[in-house]
Each structure stands twice: as C-alpha cells, then as structure tokens.
Chain A
Amino acid sequence: MLCTECQKRTATLHYTQIINGEKTEVHVCEVCAQKKGYSFPGDEPYTLHDLLTGLFNVTSPGLDVKEDNFFNQFNELTCDHCQLSFSEFQRIGKFGCTNCYDTFKAKLPAIFRKVHSGNTKHDGKIPKRKGGNLHIKKEIERYREYLQQLIKEENFEEAAVIRDRIKDLEKLQGGNES
C-alpha cells in the first residue's frame, strides 16, 4: 500500500483517525508520518500534536462570539502546580502534572472523546490502595445492574440473594470510610 501523502513510498503506519466525528484512514510512510506530526516518541501510535491543534484551532461553522470569548479565557487558564497554560497544553499535547487534569477538566471530555472513540470514563484496573472503596463501589454498581435484570426476569429468589450481597457490600463501604 502506497503512502497517501507522498504516493511514493510504502505506507508503514496505519490507523483510523477521528476528527469531528468523521473517520479517516491514515496510511503513511515514516517520512511523511514525521513531517505531519503523526510520528511518535517510542512506541506511541501517533502524537496528539496535530490532532489537538487541529481540534482547537479550526473554528467550526456554528461557533459564535460568545463561545469564542470563553475559548480565549480558557487558553489563559494555568495549572497552579506546574504552571502549564491551556494553550501550551494544546501546543505540546501533554499534561504537565496530575493537577492539570483538574485545572482543564471542562475541556477534557471533548478531547478524550476524539482520542478514545467517544469514551470519557475509565473502565479498567483500579489501584488497590489508592482506589480505596472504589472497588466496592464498582462491584455494587455491577450487582445493581444484575439485580435489575433479575427483577425484569422475575427471578426473585436470586434477586433476594443479590440484594443481601449489595447490603453487605454497602456496610463494608460505610465501615471503610469511617
């Protein structure tokens, strides 16, 4: 497969890019990947550089002045721990510290959605110590969903068992917190 940028060299990097909800296939050679900023330090599939700058600098047709003002204010927003401003974050495509996530939180769902095919919420491993009651909370959530399903199926016997289990977990959760 030829590189879609130069049409000369063999494409060696292949992935799907989503910009403004539109999927584009990217098939580029190493040279063009680097030129276009698709290239990556180490083993990253691509850098966010172009994606992010594209994301923020392209004014969408529906953008009015009011939003524009909000946008400018946001650019000056600076993380009080590492001093990274939002416009710097856009430029380098990296967070400077844990606190940046909090500082820029209003903009993050939109960014994450583009990068992670519409996802904005973690659904994986939770650290044992740091996660604290989060494990229990997640388990309760899972059981509650299951309980709803059981009730729908009129499987009340099993539902009673699950309800008790949820109660136990809630007790455990309360105990840990105090």
Chain B
Amino acid sequence: MSLEQFMNEAISPWMRVEGPENDIVLSTRIRLARNFEKVTFPIIANEDELRSVIEFMKENYEGKSYANYQNLAFIEMEDLSHIEKRVLVEKHLISPFLTKARASGVLVSENEQLSIMVNEEDHIRIQLYFPGFQMKQALDHAFELDDWLEEKIDFAFDERWGYLTSCPTNVGTGMRASVMIHLPALVLTKRINQMIPAINQFGFVVRGIYGEGTEALGNLFQVSNQITLGKSEEDIVEDLESVIINLVEQEREARHYLLHTSGKKLEDQIFRSYGILKYGRIIESQEASARISDVRLGVDLGMIKDVSHNVLNELMVLTQPGFLQHYAKKVLTTSERDVLRATLIRERLNI
C-alpha cells in the first residue's frame, strides 16, 4: 500500500471539511440508543434473536441512502480480523465493546459520518459525527435519521420513561452528545483543574482521550452529557453548547496569556516538538500525541504555517497501533511500532 493510499484510509471524508471553531473543537458527535420493542436486548438475547436483528438491518438498510449518508455498507464483526476491527475503533466508527459483542455489525455511510452499530449493548446505536462545533446540525440530522429508521422499526418506547435501553444510564432520550476539544493552554496554565468540577456540577462528564497507555493524551478532552432522563435533547444540547462556548473562550484567553507572559518559551516548546516529529527515529504513542498537540497549537497561533489541521488529524489516527499494523500488514511489537510511527510522521510532514 502506498503512503498516500494509506493516509486516505486513515482519515474519514467528513473529517477533511473544516468545521466551525476547528482550531479548538475537533468534532461533534450525537449518539442515539434504540431497541426493537419485541426482541430481548443483546446481553440476554440468544443467537437466533441476535441474527434476526442483523438480518433485518441488512435487508432493510444495506446499500440504502438517506440525505448525505449514501450507500450504507454493512460490516459484520465476525468477518473482520483483529487488526481490521481495531482500525474501525481507531476511526471511531465502532466502540471497542462492539468488537467483543456476539453477532454484531455496523452500517457505515460512504462519507463515514454516520455509523449504525447493531447488537452493541442496545440493538441499535446511531452515531453521527460533524467536523468542528456543530451541535444543532448534528442533532437535527440525528433526529431525521432516527425518524427514517422508525418508519420500519417499532422502537422500545414508554410514555413515562422514553426510549428503553439496556443500561439505566441511557434511558429517556438514549442520547449521548459529545464534543472532542483540544485544550493545551488550559492544561499548561493548569486552569483546567478549576474548570472541570464546575462542568461536572452542570451535569457533564469530562474525560481525557486515551491511546495505548493510561495517561490523558495530547490535551484532548471529550465532554458529554451525564443524564438522559427528564431533559429534552434540545436542552441537553443547548447546555452542552454553552459549556463548550465557555471552554473555547477560556482556552483562547489562556493562549493569549501564555503568549504575553512566556511567548518565547511557548514558541520554543512548539518548535522543539515540530523538530522531533520531523526528524525523530523512534517515537512512543504518548510522546507522539503530546508533540502533535504542541504543533497543533503552533498552527493555531500562526507560528507554524506549512502544516494543516488535516495533516494533524491524519497523524492522530494513523499513528495508533491498529493503523500502524494495518499499514505494515502484520502484527508489530511495541518497539517496531515506535519506529514505524516515527517514519510515517516524518514522511507525512515532509510531503
């Protein structure tokens, strides 16, 4: 496989579009959990019941299109190798849980913006991504897709409790709205530590993004709603929106502050990281994430002009273990991965 071809696979078509506020907000996601009314939920269901859900989804939605979401492909988990599954997880098209679930699969649109997981914890999980910060658009489209599915499926729904899900944490709207956000200046100034409890109090969960290890990676955070019952989807999205607007403002302010108080130091850190990515020969995933975060900040601040956000998004995905092994077409040891990672980053930045 050529490097170019490989890059094309790493980054989903929808990610190539520059979204609003994309210097800080990477992407917006809406996930809706739904179940067939008459079928036992996946954790308890027997093989036949699970198959019947798979067959129904295949028959009714494989190859179909709705609005921008064209030509849904159906992928069954049991047909995939370990590495292929990992690649789908790293592209966020499926959850790690789906790869372990029995008789499970996923419908994916051509632009990879929409994926519908089948037989995850619930029968159906609609996942929709938008580049940058686009909460309302994402919710509108998710609702339309939900209506489209409902034309043929009797969803488990109760007047009092809303959409019925396997886990009590999802009941009601079945919705998890989340935003992936890059907050290097709030981390550097440690201001993030005061902000997180306030966001939690407001009903939102903040979590660092992981790679191979257990440390937060690359100053990336995911913010999502904690509750799904008793609050409308619109209200949840509006509240999340105001949380994010506040975070974006604070991050911008912290960036200004850093520039004014320790500009040279910041510039030095950014260019050192750029140098390591451009010339390093061995790089661990944790270090790669930290360096990519620095370079992203450098691009946002106008210090680095010859790298685009897209390139950095690509690097974030393709330097992960699944992708590296997919590229190498074989299982790699950790140290082999660290060498290949450095090589790919170097080649990509020197194109």
> Which residues on A are within 8 Å of B, measured CB to CB?
1, 9-10, 12-16, 23, 25, 27, 29-31, 41-48, 52, 81-84, 92-98, 101, 108, 111-112, 115-131, 134
Contacts and interface: CB of A to CB of B under 8 A. Distances in A.
Contact of A1 (B44, B98, B193, B201): B193
B207 A13 contact: yes
B200 A101 contact: no
B167 interface: yes
B150 A129 contact: yes
Contacts of A92: 43
Interface in B18-49: 31, 35, 37-41, 43-44
A154 B231 CA distance: 31
Interface bin, chain B: 35 or more
A12 B40 contact: no
A34 to B, nearest CB: 9
Contacts of A119: 172, 227, 229-231
Nearest to A45: B205
Nearest to A52: B168
A124 B233 contact: yes
Contacts of B176: 43-44
B280 interface: no
9 contacts: A25-B200, A42-B98, A44-B170, A45-B169, A97-B40, A116-B172, A121-B229, A122-B159, A125-B162
Nearest to B166: A94
Contacts of B13: none
A92 B44 CA distance: 11
A96 B214 contact: no
Interface of B: 31, 35, 37-41, 43-44, 95-98, 120-121, 143, 146-147, 150-151, 154-173, 175-176, 178, 192-193, 196-197, 199-201, 203-208, 210, 214-216, 222, 224, 226-233
A15 B206 contact: yes
A122 B207 contact: no
A127 B152 CA distance: 12
B41 A94 contact: yes
Interface centre among B170, B178, B201, B229 (most CB of A within 10 A): B229
A127 B150 contact: yes
A122 B229 contact: yes
B41 A96 contact: yes
A46 B173 CA distance: 17
B224 A45 contact: yes
Contact of B40 (A81, A117, A134): A81
A128 B144 CA distance: 11
Contact of A130 (B120, B157, B178, B203): B157
Contacts of A97: 39-41, 44
B196 A16 contact: no
B95 A43 contact: yes
B215 A41 contact: no
A14 to B, nearest CB: 4
Contacts of B170: 44
A39 B56 CA distance: 32
B190 to A, nearest CB: 9
A98 B200 contact: no
Contacts of B197: 14, 25
B121 A41 contact: yes
A93 B166 CA distance: 9
Nearest to A119: B230
A96 B43 contact: yes
A114 B19 CA distance: 37
Contacts of B167: 44, 47-48, 93-95
B233 A125 contact: yes
A122 B230 contact: yes
A111 B233 contact: no
Contacts of A116: 171-172, 227-230
Contacts of B166: 94-96
A123 B163 CA distance: 11
